[in-house]
Structures are given as C-alpha cells and as structure tokens.
Amino acid sequence: MQTAVFKSYKNGIYKFLFNNGGEVIFEEVHPRVLKQFDLKNDDTLIDQTFRISFVEVYDDIDDDYLAYRIESMKLPL
C-alpha cells in the first residue's frame, strides 16, 4: 500500500497526490471502497491522507489504453 492524499473528484476522475510528489488519476474505484468512503460527495475527505492499493487496467482492444483502479483504501494507522 502507498500513502496518498485525496485531492479531488470531478467527472468520474479521482485525483490523488503521492508522497513522491506525483499525481495519479484514477478512473475506477472498487465499489467496496466507495461504500466505505464517499469520494464523490463527501468534501471532508479532500486533503485526507489514505493508504491505497491499486492496479493498472489494460484494454485488450486498444493497446494504448491504460487506467488505474483503486482496489483498497484505508486511513493511515
């Protein structure tokens, strides 16, 4: 798991800022994560730090397509 700060949600895109300064855009979030954290509507989660695990999602038809999906997310200990 990596540590990242939730920065925003807009038009289906979730933005997180990681400790190394890199920003990652997630197009998909596992439904169980959204059940636990309402990233779409809860503004109190903005600038909150989380521990995140994610995967790369490829498209079998479009070789150039690459997206990231959050698989799990937790508050830091």
| Count: domains in the chain | 1
* CATH at residue 59: 2.40.50
In tens, the pLDDT along 48-73 reads 999 999 998 887 777 777 889 999 99
Task: Give the domain range for residue 32.
Answer: 2-74
The four Cα atoms 33, 71, 11, 7 give a dihedral, to 10 degrees, of: 80
Q: What is the pLDDT of residues 4-34, one digit of tens each?
A: 999 999 999 999 999 888 999 999 999 999 9
